[in-house]
Amino acid sequence: MTDTAVVRAPLGALALLCLFAAAPAGAQPEPPTLSLPAEAPATPPPAAADAPGPQIAEIIVTAQKKAQNLQDVPVSVGVLSGDTLRESGNSEVGALENFVANVQIDTDPQAPVIGIRGFSTETDNVGFESSVGLVMDDLALARPEFVPDGLYDLQRIEVLRGSQGTLFGKNTVAGVINFATQEARPEDSGYLMLTSGDPRQVRAESAVNLALTDWLSGRAAGTWWNKQGDVENATLDRREGSFNQGAGRLRLLATPGERWRISLLGQYSHTHADYSPWQLYAATPEALSYAQSFDASAEDNGLDAHTTANTPGYVKRTSNLQRALIDYELGEALGAHEVKLTTVLGHAAFKIDAFYDIDTTASDIVNTVFNVNYHQNSIELRPSGRSDSLLGFGGEVDWTLGLYYFRSDLGSHFDTLGGDNLVDFALSSAGLEALGLPGAQLNALLALLPNISLPLNDSLRRGFAQQAQSYAAFGQMSWKLGEQLSAIFGLRLGQDRKQADFDVTQTGIGLISNVVGATPFAAHLERRENDFSPKAGLQYRFTPALMGFLTYTRGFKGGGFNATADNDHNLEFEPERAGAWETGFKSQLFARSLMFNLTLYRTDIRNLQVVDLTGTEFAVSNAAEARLQGVETEILWQAPWPWLSVASSMAYGTAEYTSYHEAPAPAYDSDGQQDLSGKTLAHAPRLTASLSPNLKFPLGETLAASLGVDYSYRSGQYSAIDLDDHSHQRGYGLWGAHLGLQTADEHWQLQLAGNNLSDKRALDLVFDHAVFANTYGAVQTPLRSVTASLRYNW
């Protein structure tokens, strides 16, 4: 069947073909069976148990909305277990990029950014939606702000690279990150883990699991974490980036009958962070001199973890989610076998209140107030099963269908406040430089003026509210055409509706509004979009240990509204659409002691959503096209000696604009525009790789030890969209190591771990300074950390 035929096939026909694919005449019905829960490890086949030497354990993932062996999934998937993350001494999701190639994560507490294969979306503008989908315990989360809040009592993290629009819906053009926490189990058990480290931190994590009845189990888990930040604020005598987080999760698992499985989850998190860790970087002499007139220690290194901001900024973030997952095993139904109906009901919400100093100096020039309140509700109905043939043709059909409804409400304020030294700054050489006037020539005269502190109560306030609804029907099937060959077909049809209200006002004399060129306005807008995301492919089982695949998938990323608009003429942008090809193989070699997976990919993205700084205004548009292409590998080797294993992940590729003719130019370029066609995207290193050898061995009869080394590398990349040379960070590697001791009964565990042991200084983000001309702000990557953890299991 051609791609065109697949694209034109209506979803209703696909559903009927899957659901009513009858068994051959005379076939005997099979008894109802319970499918394997995602949390339970599968039992290796009997033949594997007799194979010589140590073997790699089966890895179960839910990358296709059902529990499967990783080696049977025709998708490029990187998997990180919760144990691996814990043993490495990491408790932040940003560490994921050190173990899984082709992932980029910035865990800013008020605007996290997630990218896969060099493609990401900046989230400073809440009107933009992410390019990477998030799933937490089967609940799709529509905003990246949830990502820092659930990394405790974790089972695994799955990274699905490439467009996943058919099964996971819109805003997955780059991929999906799927978090699976520990499910309640029918046993009485638990653990308590205490951690301390340098930089100063104290962390406690605990979980208690109870078998409440013979059909009901409960699990309560939580964490409290206080950590000192890396960046010293000399003016306020505090560490920027310090945070305090408390979080808890309650899970119930009920199996009231052999056909029922009901999983309930509730989670809450609260985080308070000292913000922001921005540093003055590559400043002009006028800008640096002005900053030093308020704090003599001000400098513009950008890599020395030092700042002089005068505002005690903060980010307060609370989040909560509730999820009910109900599985009902129908068994035989309408000629299909192992039919299961899955229902996922979910609610999620977060609230962020932030106040921070955007001039990054001890002078009170400009501050920002940012707050956002978000709620989402969703329901997914998903029947799945298998049929003996497709209307009598071919072999077995494994199918999944679904209906999905989603609603969200978002309200935000992004306000710019004039500080008490705003007039003083305007009368300085740095201020005149920022206004495009010859301030340097007046240095001697301006130096005679005293510092002026004058409360103005001047501000620009940007209010934004959005309501969104989504409806979708989807289906995917794998159809055996022979003993070794299977065809993959899928389709998703969806519709999005959004409406937004803008309310931009000013207070005071309007100085801030005049500087940024804002015009107060109010507006109400509505838009509607259609999602058509097909998938087609082939899967071939060469041998029981070797599988190959070829797939094509379309993806869709929603359009929307410019939530930070200063005027009423740049308020909307259109959706992005992606076409993704993947081919590769998955193998288990040498008697299941070596797992080697390889994927070649190419994704073309049309109507790329971009943000351009045009003078003093952030303009949004669909001005570009991009192509992502490359190769990815995942390797896991269990040596002939049971005490040695090695994990590795590597990706090499490009993420480039194929067309972007009127891109913004760096601030120092007087032309204001440039042609970025054929140039790289920001945050897109060509090479990312990780290598983690691990040793485990006994120490007598009562103790066992483990020793591991973690090395990760990422090549050079830009962090600014305009590819400003100041934002380029050359390639670098990071070293980590961990040493563990545990008793033979595994009740007690002591873990020592270190990350970035060489204390590598690198730029994570560089941006044009919001106040000074031809000057930058910078954010460093995390510095060296060392931790010690003591854990007791019962």
pLDDT tens for 488-506 read: 999 999 999 999 999 999 9
Residue 289 burial (10 A CB sphere; 0-12, 13-18, 19+): middle
What pLDDT is stored for residue 440 in this prediction? 59
What pLDDT is stored for residue 517 in this prediction? 82
Measured CA angle at 225 (ends 224, 229), to 5 deg: 165
pLDDT (average), residues 742-754: 96
What pLDDT is stored for residue 535 in this prediction? 97
Q: What is the mean pLDDT of the chain?
A: 90
The percent of residues in the chain predicted with pLDDT above 90, rounded, is 80
What pLDDT is stored for residue 442 in this prediction? 63
What pLDDT is stored for residue 617 in this prediction? 58
Q: How confident is the model at residue 717 (pLDDT cuts 50, 70, 90)?
A: very high
CB 538 within 8 A of CB 485: yes
Measured CA angle at 350 (ends 348, 354), to 5 deg: 170
Give the least confident one: 2-6, 178-182, 567-571, 639-643: 2-6
Q: How confident is the model at residue 514 (pLDDT cuts 50, 70, 90)?
A: confident
User: Rounded to whole angstroms, how far apart are CA atoms 248 and 271?
Assistant: 12
What pLDDT is stored for residue 188 in this prediction? 97
Give the neighbor-by-neighbor strand order of the sheet with 119-120.
103-106, 113-116, 119-120
What pLDDT is stored for residue 17 in this prediction? 35
pLDDT tens for 564-600 read: 999 998 899 999 999 999 999 999 999 999 999 999 9
Q: How confident is the model at residue 614 (pLDDT cuts 50, 70, 90)?
A: low
What pLDDT is stored for residue 446 in this prediction? 62
What pLDDT is stored for residue 427 in this prediction? 86
User: Rounded to whole angstroms, how far apart are CA atoms 763 and 776?
Assistant: 12
pLDDT tens for 659-709 read: 999 898 898 887 778 999 999 999 999 999 999 999 999 999 999 999 999
pLDDT tens for 324-383 read: 999 999 999 888 999 999 999 999 999 999 999 999 999 999 999 999 999 999 999 999
CB 735 within 8 A of CB 758: yes
What pLDDT is stored for residue 455 in this prediction? 82
- Where are the chain's structural domains? 3-419+456-793
Q: How confident is the model at residue 276 (pLDDT cuts 50, 70, 90)?
A: very high
- Would you say residue 31 has pLDDT above 70? no
pLDDT (average), residues 408-425: 94
CB 652 within 8 A of CB 631: yes
CB 382 within 8 A of CB 402: yes
- Would you say residue 620 has pLDDT above 90? no
- Would you say residue 27 has pLDDT above 50? no
What pLDDT is stored for residue 672 in this prediction? 78
The CATH number of 3-419+456-793 is: 2.40.170.20
What pLDDT is stored for residue 670 in this prediction? 76
pLDDT (average), residues 630-644: 96
- Would you say residue 618 has pLDDT above 70? no
- Would you say residue 41 has pLDDT above 80? no
